[in-house]
Structures are given as C-alpha cells and as structure tokens.
Amino acid sequence: MSATGSALKRQEHITPFICDDANGRALFFTLDHLQSMMSIASPYELAVDYTQTMMGFALLNRHPQHIGMIGLGGGSLAKFCYKHFPESKISVAEINPHVIALRQKFAIPDDDHRFEVLQVDGSDFVRTSKGTMDILLVDGFDHIGQSPQLCTHRFYTDCYQALSDRGLMVVNLDETNGFYKTIFTRIDSIFNGHVVAIQANDHGNVVAFAAKGRNIQAENIRNRMDRFYSELNQW
C-alpha cells in the first residue's frame, strides 16, 4: 500500500470486532492482531502483559493528579487507573468512534467528574494540553500497526510539553517495527536521555518510560518490575 493509501485507510476508522472464549473477551481489528483482552469474571484486571508493564509508572508516581491516555482499545488501562487511582483525573483520547461505541461491552465506566473519553486524534490531544498531565500513557495502535502521526518528532515534542514539570510519558512500542530505533531515538533526544526501555514480552512489545525534568535509573526500574507484577495482582 502506498503512503497515501495507508493514510487514507487509517482515516476510514475500521470497525473492530469482539471474540469471547474461555480466556475472556478480546477486541480485534484483524484476527492476527489482538488489540485488547478482558477477563469477563474480573473486568478490571490487566489481562495483557504489556499493560502491566505500562503500569510501572506507579513505581515513580503513586499519586498523579492527572493521567492522560492515548488509545482506548478495550479500556484495560483506563479501567485499572479509574479503580486504583480514585483521586486522579483521567482523560482518554480515542480517534475511532467504533472503538468508543464498544465501551459498555468492556465495562468501561461512563464519563463523570474525573473520567472522560474524548473522540480526538492523540496528536491533537497532546498539542492542546500543555503542562497539564503528570502521567501520559501512549498506546496508539490500529489495524495496520503503530499510528504514524503518533511517532513523529512533533508528536513526542508535544507529549513532552503536555507533561507537568516532573511528568512521565509511558509508550507501548513495537520492537519488530522497522522504524523502532528511529522512534526510540526521537523520544530519547526530546527527553534528554531520561528514558528507560523495558521488554514487556516475547512478541515485540517494549515499554519506554520517559521522564521530564529528572533522571530515572534503568536498573532500579527493571529490578523492581518483577515484584511489582505480583503486587499488581493484590491491588
């Protein structure tokens, strides 16, 4: 597909579909690309490994005032943060209206005084949110892969500016993407080297933790992550 064709296809807002089985409820755009998984018995649990890694932000900030998210999917991170960070405002940007339309199927809470889902491009979301977010979770994938508008130098610069003075951006990246090194280098440059990459699984998911205005120690996060996984199950 040409670059123009690819961009056009993304603007069509592909309709996702749901599959239920013994493992729970899954959200797909295509059968070979799982977007989200939910345990029907325990809908607020994190059923996909990389989402548990992304929650590692709590090792660095357990009491964020404002959590921003790009990419709703099945709402795993949104629901988990809504339940376990009751004092935090949570704003979720999702560009695809068909994904938002399935929110009740995945037990995503209704909007209220501290939780909202916005139908908006993630790049526009951060561009208009300067200095407001303590945590920014970026998980912007569609039926083709990582959305190109969420990988640019401009986008990550806007993410940096959207964060509060000591804010933290957490990004789900695809190590199998041919542009992975370029994307990571952009993040590393914009965040002045204050970036840690954590391998989330054997499928290519790498989670980047990028801190604004402070250094973070890679080994400190990696050494605490295994224990943190077991602690998450007790939340």
Q: How far apart are CA 201 and CA 175, in angstroms?
A: 11
Residues in the chain, overall count: 235
Q: What is the pLDDT of residue 11?
A: 54
Domains of the chain, residue spans: 3-232
Q: How far is CA 62 from the centre of its chain?
A: 17
Q: How far apart are CA 184 and CA 68, in angstroms?
A: 20
Q: What is the pLDDT of residue 30?
A: 83
- Per DSSP bridges, beta strands 89-94 and 66-70 are parallel
Q: Which CATH class is domain 3-232?
A: alpha beta
Catalytic sites, residue numbers: 139
Q: What is the pLDDT of residue 203?
A: 87
Q: How far apart are CA 229 and CA 74, in angstroms?
A: 21
Q: What is the pLDDT of residue 106?
A: 97
Q: Around 11, how many Cα atoms within 13 Å sit in the side-chain half-sphere?
A: 6
Question: pLDDT in tens for each of the 235 residues of the chain?
Answer: 333 333 434 457 889 999 999 889 999 988 777 889 999 999 999 999 999 999 999 999 999 999 999 999 999 999 999 999 999 999 999 999 999 999 999 999 999 999 999 999 999 999 999 999 999 999 988 767 788 899 999 999 999 999 999 999 999 999 999 999 999 999 999 999 999 999 999 889 999 999 998 888 877 788 888 788 778 767 7
Q: What is the pLDDT of residue 4?
A: 38
Nearest to 34 by CA among 52, 10, 50: 50
Q: What is the pLDDT of residue 143?
A: 65
Nearest to 76 by CA among 33, 117, 110, 43: 43
Cβ–Cβ < 8 Å for 211, 60: yes
Cβ–Cβ < 8 Å for 129, 159: no
Q: What is the pLDDT of residue 5?
A: 38
